[in-house]
Structure 1
């Protein structure tokens, strides 16, 4: 380490130390958040009013001493409120919307469920940083795939059919009449099945190279009674089968590909004459200084530990990370023959692009 050349501003050192200590505390507390979600503690507290640690332990079938210690973490993080006089704890309804209700668009627990599998490959990531190799999606544990689905589901439930698809020119009318849709990089099929529920006259085909995810998607389609018009198959983004698609969609996955240009070319080849390509991508700047803040920081962190290593592992011509910027994506699309590009809509977390030949 280089020796400082001047006298340090100790106030700035203390200020930065407090910030880093806060990050460390949040990292430790994140494990308790994940445990609480997986054990149903937040759900048990939601709408229950004031509970003692014993009552919460009884509701969940857990050991009271551990529940009491877990509650201390929640109080310290201001997730849960405590009445010392009554020795009770309350999860406010507003907090329950974030921690306890998977159907709420504000549910954020999926992010915490992704931490265990990401930390588990820390040594692999260090090796990748030294060698320039990748860490593939299929090298992670199953908790990552489940956590990713949980992470994206609330946003898709709240935005996909209500805002994103209506922002595309003429697409909803086609879906209502009956259209053919390819959902590329579909993962557990959350986006595919939401569209199928909303548009019963259309047929949907989800593709992903990851067999475990396709298996989970098929089971969910069966559970929802949608197998008659929703199919899931293992296929890479550059080689998915079919033709005459009215819509080819990429939900939060284009940047994960080692060759997004090949995926765009295959999309153009399979589109119907007046078909549309939809790309939903993180709303994150390519300029690092513009990523300051919780959302931008989360994107940057997952890019460095998940998205970029996964793309590198595919040995393609590009490894974009999740914040390449609109200009880079637009250029790749144009080179693939998709030259009509429009920002259809955006939110704090996503940008939705309508793309055509």
Structure 2
């Protein structure tokens, strides 16, 4: 009886594990289909059609794509529950349908100003998987896949995910800390944004604190070029500046009132070196703020969705990027508070404070005290 029961339990466990893998396969395939719809402009075309929806031929015509592919994608999206399908006609060749975005979907898939805009997640992950042979080689020999190798799809998806949060929530989030807000509000305050990317965080800082001098710094030339373009389009070129440089070469000792690192420290191959440079040029009464992933304080099996997503990013993007530099410490995306505290102390800071900023996407804010 005991052997039979164990066999039955094992069979049930195997079936459950198969279900888990099938569910993951469905998620992977549907994520790739979302990336297709995003990059081909199909979701935007559907959003433009409103409740009336589009036929495959209409979608193909509006997006300059092929009707047969459009038909297959529309049907797949409807089967997956990502689109609605309404019977349009029943010609001799069989029924035809019109397809539309359901209520609320445009905010997630199309509206780049929406806090719920998450289509770039699909683009980022599919772009990373496109480098699968390089990832395999890196995992074998200890090398990596640099951020620059992901190209514009990687850069743009990262920037688009964070932009609405910076635009709409950053100023209020920083004002939640009275002491930090006072520092940033100093007349003529000098603020540096390290790892500025496309500059959305830099521009948000300048909007929130118009009396400050704000400079964004990054080592990625295409990102800095786009940041300057974004500043020009917003009419902010006179209030902010962007530099293609290592932050450690950008400031004299004791010259900055505040320094920010937004979702970038865990990618850096030598975080202590960066923090040591910042420790040198921050004023004694200044503020250093690191925004990074809101992961659990310690590793534990069966983590929540944030933990699972960050490990996914780490496997495919962040850790390979960091390890593409020889000698990197290889932090990885799930940078826990204890790790940040260790880096900060090694760099000469006295302590790390978790700031009272909640519900800011999947991020957490820390202040490093001199």
TM-score by length of 2: 0.87
Q: Deviations over 1:149-194 (max 9, x none)?
A: 112223323431222x123343334444442111001111111112
How many angstroms apart in 2 are the aligned matches of 1:335 and 1:114? 33
How many angstroms apart in 2 are the aligned matches of 1:335 and 1:272? 18
Q: What is the aligned partner in structure 1 of residue 262 from structure 2?
A: 251
Q: Deviations over 1:264-310 (max 9, x none)?
A: 11111111231100100101136443563432211001112221122
Q: Aligned pair 1:94/2:104, yes or no?
A: yes
Q: Deviations over 1:311-332 (max 9, x none)?
A: 2223346221111310111121
How many angstroms apart in 2 are the aligned matches of 1:214 and 1:104? 24
Q: What is the aligned partner in structure 1 of residue 177 from structure 2?
A: 168
Q: Which among 124, 131, 147 is matched to residue 137 of structure 1?
A: 147
How many angstroms apart in 2 are the aligned matches of 1:80 and 1:51? 10
How many angstroms apart in 2 are the aligned matches of 1:291 and 1:338? 34
Helix, strand or coil at the partner of 2:73: helix
Q: What is the aligned partner in structure 1 of residue 3 from structure 2?
A: none
Q: Deviations over 1:54-107 (max 9, x none)?
A: 444444444433322221121122111222366332312312111110000110
Q: Aligned pair 1:310/2:321, yes or no?
A: yes
Q: What is the aligned partner in structure 1 of residue 208 from structure 2?
A: 198
Greater CA drift, 277-286 or 153-162: 153-162
Aligned residues, how many? 351
Q: What is the aligned partner in structure 1 of residue 367 from structure 2?
A: 354
Structure 1 pair 32/208, CA: closer, same or farther in 2 (3 Å)?
same
How many angstroms apart in 2 are the aligned matches of 1:41 and 1:139? 26
Q: Aligned pair 1:80/2:45, yes or no?
A: no
How many angstroms apart in 2 are the aligned matches of 1:167 and 1:266? 27
Q: Aligned pair 1:289/2:300, yes or no?
A: yes
Helix, strand or coil at the partner of 1:140: helix
Helix, strand or coil at the partner of 1:141: helix
Q: What is the aligned partner in structure 1 of residue 217 from structure 2?
A: 207
Gaps of 5+ in 1: 1-5
How many angstroms apart in 2 are the aligned matches of 1:124 and 1:197? 41
Q: What is the aligned partner in structure 2 of residue 106 from structure 1?
A: 116
Pairwise CA RMSD of aligned residues?
Answer: 2.3
Greater CA drift, 91-100 or 78-87: 78-87
Q: What is the aligned partner in structure 2 of residue 267 from structure 1?
A: 278
Q: Aligned pair 1:154/2:164, yes or no?
A: yes
Q: What is the aligned partner in structure 2 of residue 50 from structure 1?
A: 52
Structure 1 pair 316/275, CA: closer, same or farther in 2 (3 Å)?
farther
Helix, strand or coil at the partner of 1:289: coil
Gaps of 5+ in 2: 1-5, 90-96
Structure 1 pair 26/36, CA: closer, same or farther in 2 (3 Å)?
same
Greater CA drift, 251-260 or 27-36: 27-36
How many angstroms apart in 1 are the aligned matches of 2:134 and 2:59? 39
Greater CA drift, 21-30 or 165-174: 165-174
Whether contact under 8 Å (1:286, 1:324) holds in the other structure is: no
- Which structure is larger by alpha-carbon Rg, 1 or 2? 2
Matches within 5 A, 1:229-244: 229-242=239-252, 243-244=254-255
